[in-house]
Amino acid sequence: MSDTYQSLFSEEIREPLCELCDKYCIDPESGIDSEEYFTNLIKSINYTTIDDLIVSLEKIIKKDFIVMDKAPDWIQGSDWQFNNGKPMIFIGQISKGYNNLGISYDMVFYVFYDPIDGCVKTIIQTD
């Protein structure tokens, strides 16, 4: 992360939020959709201490971030997909090696699905 990056979350919230999200293979700062989701979520929770906030967030994260089988094993960092402001269901990942003319690397396809409107998104990461 560059030195000029400015988190949307206060440092008091950012550290415990990131630690919590790490447990679920999520990065609350991975992109605009993720930042908006977590910003709105935090605003919607009535809490008096950061510990209260984290307990509430964990309950919601467990409900909203659905994994069909196993959590994603990100190569380059979390890039959880959202549709209409909500986290999509993580269906699974497919790993594929590539080797052509001396160029070799691994690719992983991460597949997400929204059962409400049938939207499917696939993210590709390489090593």
Q: What is the pLDDT of residues 42-95, one digit of tens each?
A: 999 999 999 999 999 999 999 999 999 999 999 999 999 999 999 999 999 999
Tell me the pTM.
0.86
Residue keyed to tokens 């196993």: 70
Distance CA(68)–CA(59), nearest Å, equals: 18
Residue 127 structure tokens:
């090593």
Residue keyed to tokens 């390489």: 126
Q: What is the pLDDT of residue 8?
A: 73
**Per residue, what are the HEC states of 98-114?**
EEECCEEEEEEEEEEEE
Q: What is the pLDDT of residue 103?
A: 85
